[in-house]
Structure 1
Amino acid sequence: YAALEKGYYRDAGLDVEILEAKEGQETIHEVVEGRAEFGVGTTDLLLLRQKGEPVVVLAVILQHSPLALLLRKDSGIQTLHGLAGRRVMIEPHSAELFAYLNREGVPLHTLELPSHTFDIRALREGSADAMSVYITDEPFALRKVNIPYLLFSPRAAGIDFYGDNLFTTEEQIENHPERVRKFREASLRGWRYAMDHKEEMIRLIYDRYSTRHSLDHLKFEAEQMELLMPEIVEIGHMFPGRWEHIASVYSELNMMPRDFDLDGFMYDPDPAADLTWLYLSLGILALLAMAVSAVAIKIHGLNLNLRRSENLRMEAERIIQHDLKSPLSVILGYSDMLIAESDNSSNLDIYRQIHRSASQMLEMVSRSLDIFEMESGDHILARNPVDLTLLLQEVIAGFSRMARSRDVQIAGSVGTTLLENAAPCILSGDGLYLKTMLENLVKNAIEAAPAGSTVSAQLECPENARQKQEFRIVLHNEGAIPESIRSSFFDRYSKGSNSRGTGLGTYSARLIARAHGGDIRFSTDEKLGTELIVVLPRA
């Protein structure tokens, strides 16, 4: 609707009519059978492709499927396994829900599966115990009448399907490539506008297109949809690995063969040119490379000698750093005593400067020694239960003064729950090192954030021990990482021009994450800011 109303289709030279799907109408068949040129469909597009239908996905709108199971909180069912033997309405094209039930060990043959009425009254009146819904839509009806509810999402079991998918046919791409390209670009431009101007689009849809939902319902839908479109991923982006994951889930249910070839299924807006000439050139170069191999062997020998020298240098550096800790501790002790006993304001400033400098140097030495142990593999993690919720609270509280001094806000949450109201999130790990990792990352985020902005720290925690999910900590600030250090962001001594730190923060943070079997990655953009994602395995 946004692309149509804002003239994006018109600007692209396209005359577009939007046809709202009727209840029971198969959007995919409307396009395949030629009654429409483009459509928005589910991941069942993959099943049709496997059966020989010439469908091609142009772009992914929702990075996560909104499909879930909804039930009343007072139904007496508290877990997914409680659905065994119950009446569950599941709509067509809901393979991910069956895969979810199957993967969690719920016997599918025990379920009563009445026809889906697509009416929330089935839950309100008790004719169904649970029903498949879009989390962007049906839950609003229960919320409106103050009926508490539960949602079970396949994402909890690691089944992460795409949501709405813009698609067309091979014929359209072959015969009208420019039209397809322009339609895709204008549509995505419209989606971006809609997400940036939600209130305007809600009013537009209500006033001009559909009064099926109230304004409050449309606002609820927009809020929930935003959760399915993470800012870190550009609208329209799709990843072959995710489609392979979806194909593997379909294979689990015997809906398609394993190792299905995705070639041609995903649209490439920038198709590669014919590179035959390049491959021929590479073949010639390969012959030349054989002549160079002898030189490479010689260089390899030299590198071994250099590596031995580097190891000796690092060991000497470690010994020197260790020996520095004692005199630095003495300096700190004496400066503490001088500060406590001084009654001269000018001398007091000097003593405090001595204390600050010695503290900073001791921190650098201690951090370097820790890093050396992790690099060499000598450090043994103390695996104990660690409450990441509490740990994140402590770190944010510790940096609150620093943030205020820079006019920066810090907001923490576990999922969509505020940190202070969130339940414990328990990980088996080394609490001291995990806290150090978070401190390094939060401190860097605050330093990089512009004045008047907010640094957000969101913890994603698996809900129960049966799930094989990972822990994720997502830190976002509105500043972009300078282009000059992006490629070396996790290297030793890498820091921005405004940083006063040691340059070891992100380096040591990633070492700690990897020591726990996890990792850290980032994305950065001048407009969207920077997002750091820490991934830690369950054990």
Structure 2
Amino acid sequence: MNKTFKILLLLAIFSLMSTTTYGAEALEKVVLQLRWHHQFQFAGYYAALWQGYYEEEGLEVEIRSGFTEDGGVLQATDEVAEGRADFGIGAVDIIIANDNGYDLSIIASIFQRSAVEFFMKEDTAFTSLVDLVDLKTARREKDLLDIELQAMLIAEGINPSRLEIYQHTGSFTIEDLINDTYDVVPIYLSSILYYSEEKDIQLKSIKPIDYGIDFYGDSLFTRRNLTKEKPEMVEGFKRATIKGWEYALENPGEIAEKIALLVEADTSKNESTIAYNRFQAEKVLELTYHPVVEVGNINPYRWEKTHETLHKLNLVSKDFDINTLIFDYEAIKMEEAKVQEKVLRVLFFSALILLLVILIIHITEKKTKRQLEELFQKEMAENKKKEGIIIYQARMAAMGEMIANIAHQWRQPLNNLGLIIANIQDEYYHRELTEDSLTDAVERSRRLIHKMSDTIDDFRYFSNPKTDKESFSVYDSIIAVLELVEEKLKLNNIKVYFNCITSKKAYGYSNQYSQAMFNIIINAIDALIASGVDNKEINISILEKNNYIITEIVDNGGGIDDDIKDYIFDIYFTTKEKSKGTGLGLYMTRIIIENNLNGRIDWQNTKDGVKMVVEVPCKGVDDCGND
């Protein structure tokens, strides 16, 4: 079992030992990326985990070492920015990462002072920073520890390029000074002092703060988009972390021992680890300024000065933006409150405007109502006038058609009367007129006149408007129509057949029904004449179904074309020449059947022609078509 696995196992054990079960609510998983090995430098995060502070905030936290199993270094800024971790520990590298395109926000500065110092042996000839030019000072290219050395040199007017840069891998240690590999080495968190005391070697150090370089040390950070998307979660992580640090700083011995177990599970071998972490605890306490300064306190001005220093070193080029660099939960909540306030203001003013509109409407209601009523009455009058004109036009067109048919029917009787009168005159001149011949001539004349009188009665029945509904025979109404068009049927050799006739009567306006039938039959006759077929036929069926009289009129004069089938009931639509058609026949037929008689009209093409279907109610069916 390798060392990393042991560490992860112990982390899991401590987590299980210190957490409390909270029902079935799932915890949000987050990852904290450290910048070094597990040690007291990160004590507050372990304490927050072990004491259950993270869990109280609804978080399940994984704390990752700054090194991979094979010894590779994990840069916290890369891990967080690229989404492999949610939170990280950093310092000036946060500003540099942002300048290189990342978007990170600092949540809390745990170390109120930089943990970087530059150590040398007590007897090293050093009185000022100028002496470093003649000393072998350990420097590495792109080393974060070297940034503060450069800042100190520039502050004293010394060009950092005068100090040589060396190729060195791994950490700088006490052996580098003992073996005179270097005269001065950069150390983080004074860790070298622990080993110098063991070897009884006296050291002295250079602190950046003594030269006005006041950088923050370890600081907690995250991605800025996470602060915007989940500000409550980020603030909860911050709260738990600060509580954890307060606990760790007040109970350093307990936490140091737990960290030692985290690093070395074998208690017989971890005494030195415990001692090292207790040593670190003293240094960490100094860097946090606890309890004088609140844990996690951030002074924006210090971060701005740090940015200025980095700019002088040409390590950053972009402008400093304090609002994006530092996470401010209260500012976010205030911004949300402002947005909510704006929304409420908009809603308030919208409601106010709506109220004013309602008041205006209320004030002008009577006037508006009167105007609307006047407009409505005017529109109704106009519509009635238009409808009356259309009905009048349709009736006149139908009457014209009937008069033409009457003229056809009267032509033969009038010719016969003329012949009878001529015969009487001839017989009188030739002394052949007898009482019997005169009586016969008068009787034949009376029959002809009676037939002509019947035609007039049919016309009067058809044209006379009726205001009261009555029961009527559909068959009789159709016969009356056929008698009016008898001459036209004979002239064009059109046969009419009744296939089925019900004796049950319809209920409504009989003369209006006759007008509708007249329009349908005339259309059938015209279609048959236009078709030119030899055996012209109109087949009529009168059926009764569900208390409705259904009349089917079928011709063999060809069907209705698809391109006009949707328009045949439209007003003024006609396929006839303008001099022969008004386009009102089928329109008025639908109005009569559906509006006046509460019936239905439909049609369909057959094999040889068109079938028109008209349904009208019997007595006892109301206006909605219900029994």
Q: TM-score, normalised by structure 1?
A: 0.49
Q: TM-score, normalised by structure 2?
A: 0.42
Larger radius of gyration: 2
